[in-house]
Amino acid sequence: MGAGHSHVPGDSSLGPAPHRVRVVVALVVGPLVLATLVGLWVLWPTGDLEITTPGADVQRGTAKVEALVPCARDSDGCRAAEVELLSGPGAPGTDRAILPYGPGAPQVEVGDRIIVSYVGDSPDGERYAFQDFDRGPPLLTLTVLFAVGVLLLSRWRGIGSLVSLAATLVLIAVFTLPAIMAGSSPLLVAIVTASASMVVTLYLSHGFTVRTTVAMLGTLVSLVLIGGIGWVFTTVVRFTGQVDEGSQYIATIAAQVDLRGLLLAGLVIGALGVLDDVTVTQTWAVWELADVDPEATARGLFVRAMRIGRSHVASTVNTLVLAYVGATLPLMLVFSALQLPFGIAVSQEVVAQEVVRGLVGGLGIIAAVPVTTAVAALVAGVLVRERGAAQRAPSHRA
């Protein structure tokens, strides 16, 4: 393999990272991985959490509507259905289920797959009740289409992306949610979750390379900034965290959960995906610029890559803020119908939370671009010099 052409896969043709760069990377990544593992060990929930509240012990399953039948109860408008039980108590088998009725009730038709709750024996013989539609099959179809699309575009690299996504979802299910329910600090749990997800996602999706590590460092710095600013402003604006039915229900059944910390946890985890996109793009941009310019300097790489970064920030921040605006659009319509002044409407906690999320996340993105670009330019500048020295070496020997 000729001089200047051997390189780590995924690091373009800049050549392998010098020994001192690899040492610095190891000194940075090693403690981060160790701290993440320690955090997982310390915060990992132990034992089952006992929750006693109405509805906590209700058994549920899935069923298919075979026929609509008259309701046995003496109530105007009551509806029922003969259902084939597919899972849950009584499955497999057939039984009757009460359907929702009244103004605004969902319309259930023959052939629909529904989720039913088991209400036990009743005088009218209807032991099940409709809870919701079973959306599992269409969601599974959409998931398969998504996976196929990722694989068609990204090929083998897409496999790593899908595996990392699955690992993140499993981590949230088995660690993040139980740890928060057990009473651990939601912010600390979110930081450990984000750190573990970041390491797994970036390295599986983009390979164990120096530039992947640079992207990870930029993401880490931005997450710390988001956590800090988020903590300050959720305290200053006096958020309670009890703004919707979900948070109010959690406050009732699990008083040990810090709802304001839960808001911070959602902010950190929600920003991680956007930050990954920004830091990876910036790092790859620096590497590509260095790859085509054998005389590139760290300063020159930083200046040129920042031109790309400014455009990226403008579009990404807009996307992030609009996503949070969309989440509160129905509520904003209510405020509009009530003709509340804009300042008062925005000051409502349910809206103000989305404002804080959007602006704090935007600040994290703004910080991620120069930080990541600067680190990437410094490292790429070293690799450019090493490549130049390797290419000049044969002529010197001659």
- Specify the fold of 61-134: OB fold (Dihydrolipoamide Acetyltransferase, E2P) (2.40.50)
- The secondary element (H helix, E strand) that includes residue 29 is helix 19-43
Tokens linked to 161: 């992306």
Q: Across residues 25-54, what is the average pLDDT?
A: 78
- In this structure, of 116-130, 140-154, 239-253, the range with the lowest mean pLDDT score is 239-253
Mean pLDDT of the region 214-235: 86
On whether the CB atoms of residues 101 and 127 are closer than 8 A, the answer is: no
**Would you state the pLDDT for residue 11?**
47
pLDDT for the residue numbered 49: 60
Mean pLDDT of 388-395: 59
User: In terms of pLDDT, which residue wins out, 57 or 218?
Assistant: 218
| Confidence at residue 141, expressed as pLDDT on a 0 to 100 scale | 92
Is the pLDDT assigned to residue 3 strictly greater than 70? no
pLDDT score recorded for residue 142: 92
Polymer length in residues for the chain: 398
Q: How confident is the model at residue 45 (pLDDT cuts 50, 70, 90)?
A: confident
pLDDT tops 90 at residue 38: yes
Q: How would residue 7 be classed by pLDDT, with cut points 50, 70 and 90?
A: very low
Q: What is the mean pLDDT of the chain?
A: 79
Q: Is 244 helix (H, G, I), strand (E, B) or coil?
A: coil
Residue pLDDT, tens place only, 267-281: 888 888 778 888 888
Separation between Cα atoms, residue 205 and residue 212, nearest integer Å: 9
- Which one, of 25, 124, 26, 128, lies nearest residue 70 by Cα? 124
Would you state the pLDDT for residue 101?
A: 80
- Per-residue tokens: 379: 């490292």
Q: Which residue has the higher pLDDT, 168 or 396?
A: 168
Structural domain boundaries in the chain: 19-45+139-397, 61-134
More confident residue, 301 or 357: 301
pTM for this entry = 0.74
**What is the pLDDT at residue 381?**
81
- 90-115: average pLDDT: 85
Report the pLDDT value the prediction gives residue 31, as an integer from 0 to 100.
86
Question: Rounded to an integer, what is the distance from CA 263 to the centroid of its chain?
Answer: 14
The pLDDT score that the predictor gives to residue 236 is 85
